[in-house]
Each structure stands twice: as structure tokens, then as C-alpha cells.
Amino acid sequence: MWKKWIWVAIAAALIIFLVPYSLPLIFAFLTAVLLEGMVQGLISKLHFKRFQAVLAVFLGYVLLIGVIGYNLISTIAQQAVSLSQRTPTFVKDFYSSVILPLIGKWEFYSRSLPSEVILQINSTIEKNVNTLDSFLQSGVTSILNLLTAIPGFLIEMLIYMIALFLFSLELPRLKQKLELHMKSQTKEKVYLVARQLNKAGMGFIKAQVILSVITFVMAYSGLAILNAPYTGLLSLLIVIVDILPILGTGSVLVPWAIIALLQNNNFLGIGLIILFVVITVVRRVIEPKVYSTNLGISPLASLISIYIGFKLLGIVGVLLGPTVVIVYDTLRKANIIQMKFKI
């Protein structure tokens, strides 16, 4: 018996070690599983052969990704070029409207301050300037790293697409080979868990799309009302940082609002703060309902899991909390986890 567990431990260690190097293959397999429903629909309803159905679904998927990617990249590129052209003017205006008045006020008030206080303030300013310089340097380094990573990303994307097509073709054969090593009871439980997780995965994607669309509409409408520049690009940026862990809507809107207030543009600054509050409140109110509707868990369980996850892990916990509830509920329905007791 102990030999069996040794082999299980070795297999688990190998899987954990290989996962970071196999992400394109893992995502390709998961995508193939998600697209299998459409493949089966073409086979059963339109009487396609397996190869024809897989090819049709694969080409449709590639076309969809291509259209979305092209529009996304072209929009970002156009507005990024426009932004880069206006950046020198913005920096000049910011320096003349914010920095120079601050320097003038500092020179005026520093005359009446003790020399020790002036030295301390100058030291603090110097530290902040050095911190800002390091931040800008790290930002430039990050951009360069991103540019150098593009060739590797393209190679991984090519591997992902090829693996997706091959996995889609081989899914029935892989399923048969897997069934040879499972008992009938185990097979039923595995299929139940797979169906539930597949349903939850699709529901999670749908929930994220709904929340992202709502966030984009609110951001775009608010920025348009405030007559802000680059409305489309900035709304898209807000959606992206809102999805990413740790970051959030405030990482874009709050610094922008502070800069606007320093430039005495109170209308834009206060408007951005109000927009940040509105987006945050609306998302927190509708998140439990959207997750519960699309993930198949109750609104109360969704709210509790989001709240506890957020308290324990921050923004990551907002996503991880409902995931834990879904996995537990799936394993309970498959009788893998049994909680039968009375008090």
C-alpha cells in the first residue's frame, strides 16, 4: 500500500514541477474541453465527421481571437501614438502649472523656517525624487522586458494553437484510454466532477465578461461626461487593471484625480473620484449576484466567499473564494466529500 502512495507522491511532485513549463499545453487542453460541446453539436446535428467539426470550430475560434486581438491592438496603438505625441505638452503644462508654483511657495515659506526643518524637508524631498526616479526606471525596464518577451509569447501562442487543434482531435481517444484505468464508480464520479467544473468554468468566464462589460460602460460613460481624453484606451485600461489581482480601478483613477486636483482642474479631479466610488460600489453590489447566477451557488454563499476571500487574500481572494466553494460543492455532489452529522 505504501508503494502506491510513494508513486502518487512522485507523480504529484512531477506535475507540480512541470506545470510552470506546460502552461500553453494545459490551457490548450482546457480550451479543447470547453469547445468540445460545439464539436459534438456539429457532429450530432449537422452530421460532420470528427475532423471536419474540429476544423470548423478551431477556425471559428481562431477567427474570433484574431478579430478581437486586431481591434484591441489597433485601438491601443492608435490612442497610444496620440498619447505619446501629447505627452511632452502634458509634462510641460504640469511643470508650469504645478511644479513651478510649488517651488515658488516653498521659496517664500522657507525663509521663515529654521535651518534644521529646511534640511529635513529637503532630505525628504530628495528621497521622494529618488523613489520616483527608481519607479520610472523600473517602469522603463518593465516595458523593455515586455517588448523582449513578445517573440517568446508568439512561440507559446503558436504551440497553444497547434496543441489545441491536436487535443480537440484526440479527446475521444484520450477519454477511452483514461477509462481503461478507472472503475465504474470512479468513472461516474470523475465525469460528474468534470461536468460541474466545466459548467463552473464557463460560468466564471461569463461572469467576468459581464462584470468587465459593466465596468467598461461605466468608465467610458463617466470619462465621456468628464470630457477626458483617450476615453476608449483608458476605459480598457481600467477594465484590465480591475481584473488583475492586487491592482484595481483606483490604481488608474485615484492618481489621475490627484494630478488633476494639483492642476486646479477640480471638475475633472472630483469627477474621477466620484467615478471611482461609483464603479467600486456597483461592482461590489452586483458581484455576488453575477457570480451566483453564473456559477450555480447561492447569493449568500457567493457573498460570504467573496468577503472572506477578500479579507484573507485581498483582490486574489475575490476570485479564489467562490472557486473554493464551487470545488467543495462539486466534490460533495460526487460523494467524494461527505459531511453527514447531527448535533
pLDDT in tens, 271-290: 999 999 999 888 888 887 88
Model confidence at 159: pLDDT above 80: yes
Q: Average the pLDDT over 298-319 and give the result.
A: 74
Q: Average the pLDDT over 5-13 and give the result.
A: 75
H or E element: which one contains 142? helix 115-179
H or E element: which one contains 180? none
**Of 57-61, 279-283, 336-340, minimum mean pLDDT range:** 336-340
**Of 59-68, 126-135, 166-175, 206-215, minimum mean pLDDT range:** 126-135
At 341, the pLDDT band (50, 70, 90 cuts) reads: low
Q: Domain ranges in the chain?
A: 184-336
Select the highest-mean-pLDDT range: 80-94, 161-175, 314-328.
161-175
Residues 6+ apart with CB under 8 A from 254: 272, 273, 276
Q: Average the pLDDT over 280-304 and give the result.
A: 79
Q: Average the pLDDT over 88-108 and give the result.
A: 69
Structure-block grid coordinates of residue 308: 472572506
Model confidence at 1: pLDDT above 60: no
What rounded mean pLDDT belongs to the chain? 78
Residues 6+ apart with CB under 8 A from 270: 257, 261
**Of 158-162, 288-292, 330-334, minimum mean pLDDT range:** 330-334
Whose cell is 483606483? That residue is 250
Model confidence at 59: pLDDT above 90: yes
Model confidence at 262: pLDDT above 90: no
Q: Specify the pLDDT at position 146.
A: 66
pLDDT in tens, 193-218: 777 777 777 777 788 888 889 999 99
Helix orientation angle between 266-295 and 315-333, rounded to the nearest 10 degrees: 10
Reduced DSSP (H G I as helix, E B as strand, rest coil) percent helix, strand, coil of the chain, to 5: 90, 0, 10
DSSP, residue by residue, 30-79: HHHHHHHHHHHHHHHHS---HHHHHHHHHHHHHHHHHHHHHHHHHHHHHH
Model confidence at 248: pLDDT above 80: no
Q: Percent of the chain beyond pLDDT 70?
A: 78
Q: Specify the pLDDT at position 142.
A: 65
Q: Specify the pLDDT at position 53.
A: 92
